[in-house]
Structure 1
Amino acid sequence: MSRGPEEVNRLTESTYRNVMEQFNPGLRNLINLGKNYEKAVNAMILAGKAYYDGVAKIGEIAAGSPVSTELGHVLIEISSIHKKLNESLDENFRKFHKEIIHELEKKTELDVKYMNATLKRYQAEHRNKLDSLEKSQAELKKIRRKSQGGRNALKYEHKEIEYVETITSRQNEIQKFIADGCREALLEEKRRFCFLVDKHCSFANRIHQYHLQSAELINSKLPKWQETCGDATKVPEKVMNMIEEIKTPISTPMSGTPLPSPMIERSSMVGRDYDTLSKYSPKIPSAPSARASTSPLIDMFNNPATVAQNSERKNNSTGSSDDPSLQRSVSVATGLNRVKKQKVKTIFPHTAGANQTLLSFAQGDVITLLVSEEKDGWLYGEHEGTRVRGWFPSSYTKLLEENEKETVSVPGPRMMQMGLQSRLFSGMLLSSTRALPLAQPRRTGLAASQFPDQGLNPGPRQ
């Protein structure tokens, strides 16, 4: 599409004005936005560094655990890799500031002056050329008027030819000037857009390399990380061996023939008083049919599927057969009034609701045990404050500190039960046979030999 000189001249001037009035102000706005972008990324990098420092600290805690050592090392490695990637990102944005923001700031200020001067120079030169052309055209008109009807027509004809050639030459010169000026204006505009694109292509390439580095680092580590946390129930072999050693009863060989335990004789004497005691024991209601609810915090970090499996496994192991020792504990519980009774302290509140056989209490209350052995997670006792008796979940309580000092060195509910029964038998024997001197039963080997079914093995009851 052909355009006249005037139209091309208008295009040239509008191109210069677009650069000055739209492109350069747009660059100033871009510089401000780029600085905000830098601040946001720097804040993200600092927050990420603080976050992954926290991840590393938790990893150090996990590394000190016998079952979570490998998980702790993984957390530390995750923290290290992400901090390395954050440092790489920080370096890329330093170059972003140096190569884009700083360059744009410097060039924008200079470009405003340069483009303004270039446009003025073009307009002045174009005006001068037009004035020369108009002058030549005016002179040509004068000569043509003089040559009409004059005596020296030949002389004026020669001058007319000279002015026509001059006018033609100046018209061609103006057209060439306008064309060259338009080309230069369009190239000036393109150079500025090209500079901006080139700088952002360079930055995009750096970000591309950053993402490739990130993908390479994470892809090389991710399968191993996922493998370590794939099974939360898996226990290291060393820990399993340690647990198995703890579960296995330790038998101490003794030289010579072992002496008969005094507990055997005492058991026969207690048996005679057992029925007498049971006659005067208060009636204890049967334990609730459902298993006692566990502590609200016990399954906080378990997966729902794991919790369901564990619950089903516990129900199958405990629900298939009743524990015959419960009836024994109910009768023997009356003897607790004659010896020092075991007490527990509540760590969670419990509400009985409409069930009158259950015991309500608040956190921090003290309960005296009347039945020392659990029944499907339930214990029977008397509230110290209200003197109300009832069943309550054992997981909502802990052994009172004054009782912990009196228990044996091996912790566990079964050892507590053994200590209770040992003191219970001593109390009943003392009350029924005052004349018989009985020695205080020892809390270690004698109790273990008297109750082989309640040994120190903390495994599930059969």
Structure 2
Amino acid sequence: MSGMNSDQLHRSTLGIYSSLMNEFNPSLQKLVSLGNRYVQAFQALAMTSEAYFSALSEIGERAFHTISSRSLGDVLIEISESQRRLTGELDGVFRRFSIEVLQQMDNNIRLDRDYISGSRKHYEMEVHNQAAALEGQLRRGANQDCSEYLQFLRESNAEALKEEERRYRFLSEKHCALIQSIAHLMNKTGGPLQQRADAWTVETDATRAPEVRRSLNNSVGMREEETGKSREELPLGNIPSRAPSPQGSISRSSGGQYVRARAAHQPGGSSPTLLPFTRGERITLLVQQPKNGWLFGRADSSSRQGWFPATYVEAMDDPPMTTCSGSSSLRSSSSMSNLLDQPAAPPPPPPPSLSSNKQTEMQPIPPSHSENKRSKPPGSQPELFPKGTNPFATVKLRPTSTDDRSAPRVHR
């Protein structure tokens, strides 16, 4: 920029003013008009959405008062209410967009027309005055000092560039705020809505099971009471801030109720108050009644305690008799107990050269390394651990020698 002469600086400054007046401001005015149409389109969409999901809620109400589809009606009503809340949140975003973005741009356009027009007229007048002063010096034969004139042109050009940058920055900042509002809404509603959608899918698929249909037909009165409670408790509210007191509603582990996860619960973030688990995992309930749609329990796999949605689990008919922890260590001990409880195999028939008193004293002994290569005598029992099932098969034993005098002596 410093290498530009006076004519280039003057043309650059006039080009910036012309771009702002003839291109930027008209484009911004068009953007405001499109934004107003965007808001109007959303308002029409919100009205149509309200009509659609209100009709869906009415169908859910009818299904809720039937015998066969009470749970499905409850799902439809909850979906309608969730959509209504989501539409309300979106309406708030569009209201802020209309007030903080569109109206601000519209106001700035009207003010900017006068400001840019006045700035350009002031610049052109100053250029004309300084050019006339230089021409007067030339006529008088005085030495021309153009340094002050060039400094003015450079400063005017730099100020015009700043004005141009300021307007594009204003446009970027307003739309960054809009995107942040949308991102905040997605973070606020996306995770919980996904969890509720998974729970609704599980509850809908559960109605395909024949045992669910039989329970609905056999216990209509009980189902009415349970669904009445689910209408009040299953919609998730705020997560309880604290775990319940052990002296309160927590049941002891010996008498706790077991439930099984019918959907995976993997909460985002690292909240210590939420309990993650996988589908099919067993959970011990520490709170028997849901609070705001949340239950408190302990996962048997990790022994971790926390809150989780009540719709993610189902009651277990038969509680397990033994725990699943320490299965790897129990396997080895049970294998050893089976080995010790196994009846001893009868000794093989002695060779003809053995005496009768030696036959009664012989006990079965483990075969030595050389005897493993021999074929098993006919009539012996099958192996205690067939090939591939012995948990100790990978243990390498050091070769040993024995001086067991009770072993049979074979005379060659």
Distance 2:63 2:201 in 1: 16
Contact 2:29–2:106 at 8 Å: present in 1 too?
yes
Secondary structure at the aligned position of 2:208 is classed as coil
TM-score normalised to structure 2 length? 0.51
Contact 2:57–2:76 at 8 Å: present in 1 too?
yes
| 1:218 aligned residue | 193
With over 3 angstroms needed to count, the CA separation of the structure-2 counterparts of 1:242 and 1:200, relative to structure 1, is: closer
Distance 2:219 2:85 in 1: 39
| 1:113 aligned residue | 114
| 2:6 aligned residue | 5
Distance 1:27 1:105 in 2: 8
Distance 1:208 1:9 in 2: 45
| 1:239 aligned residue | 216
Mapping 1:180-219, distance limit 5 Å:
180-219=155-194
Distance 2:208 2:137 in 1: 102
Q: Which amino acid aligns with 1:31?
A: V
Q: Deviation of residue 222 (structure 1)?
A: 1.5
Mapping 1:146-165, distance limit 5 Å:
163-164=142-143
Q: Say if 2:18 is the partner of 1:43.
A: no
| Cα deviations by residue, 1:132-158 (Å, 9 ceiling, x for unpaired) | 011011101xxxxxxxxxxxxxxxxxx
| 1:102 aligned residue | 103
| Cα deviations by residue, 1:411-451 (Å, 9 ceiling, x for unpaired) | xxxxxxxxxxxxxxxxxxxxxxxxxxxxxxxxxxxxxxxxx
With over 3 angstroms needed to count, the CA separation of the structure-2 counterparts of 1:227 and 1:11, relative to structure 1, is: same
Contact 1:8–1:182 at 8 Å: present in 2 too?
yes
Contact 2:101–2:174 at 8 Å: present in 1 too?
yes
Secondary structure at the aligned position of 2:190 is classed as helix
| 2:130 aligned residue | 129
Distance 1:200 1:71 in 2: 42
Contact 1:16–1:119 at 8 Å: present in 2 too?
yes
Distance 2:174 2:115 in 1: 21
Q: Which amino acid aligns with 2:46?
A: I
Q: Which amino acid aligns with 1:4?
A: N
Q: Deviation of residue 118 (structure 1)?
A: 0.5
Contact 1:81–1:217 at 8 Å: present in 2 too?
no
With over 3 angstroms needed to count, the CA separation of the structure-2 counterparts of 1:242 and 1:180, relative to structure 1, is: closer
Distance 2:198 2:17 in 1: 58
| 1:227 aligned residue | 202
Secondary structure at the aligned position of 2:205 is classed as coil
With over 3 angstroms needed to count, the CA separation of the structure-2 counterparts of 1:73 and 1:242, relative to structure 1, is: closer
Q: Say if 2:29 is the partner of 1:54.
A: no
Q: Deviation of residue 5 (structure 1)?
A: 1.4
TM-score normalised to structure 1 length? 0.46
Q: Which amino acid aligns with 1:24?
A: N
Whichever structure has more helix as a proportion of its residues is 1
Secondary structure at the aligned position of 2:86 is classed as helix
Q: Deviation of residue 232 (structure 1)?
A: 4.7
Secondary structure at the aligned position of 1:222 is classed as helix
Distance 1:33 1:81 in 2: 30
Q: Deviation of residue 231 (structure 1)?
A: 4.7
Q: Say if 2:85 is the partner of 1:84.
A: yes
Mapping 1:278-317, distance limit 5 Å:
none
Distance 2:25 2:200 in 1: 51
| 1:442 aligned residue | none
| 2:250 aligned residue | none
Distance 1:201 1:105 in 2: 18
Contact 1:9–1:182 at 8 Å: present in 2 too?
yes
Distance 2:161 2:216 in 1: 77
Q: Say if 2:141 is the partner of 1:175.
A: no
Distance 2:165 2:138 in 1: 38
The structure with more radius of gyration = 1
Distance 1:70 1:52 in 2: 18
Mapping 1:22-37, distance limit 5 Å:
22-37=23-38
With over 3 angstroms needed to count, the CA separation of the structure-2 counterparts of 1:6 and 1:67, relative to structure 1, is: same
| Cα deviations by residue, 1:286-312 (Å, 9 ceiling, x for unpaired) | xxxxxxxxxxxxxxxxxxxxxxxxxxx
Q: Which amino acid aligns with 1:205?
A: Q
Distance 1:177 1:13 in 2: 14
Distance 1:213 1:80 in 2: 16
Distance 1:185 1:90 in 2: 39
Distance 2:76 2:172 in 1: 41
With over 3 angstroms needed to count, the CA separation of the structure-2 counterparts of 1:213 and 1:136, relative to structure 1, is: same
Q: Deviation of residue 230 (structure 1)?
A: 1.3
Q: Deviation of residue 237 (structure 1)?
A: 4.4
| Cα deviations by residue, 1:205-239 (Å, 9 ceiling, x for unpaired) | 00111222231221221221011221553344443
Distance 1:242 1:218 in 2: 31
Distance 1:208 1:99 in 2: 17
Q: Deviation of residue 242 (structure 1)?
A: 6.2
Distance 2:139 2:216 in 1: 111
Distance 1:223 1:241 in 2: 28
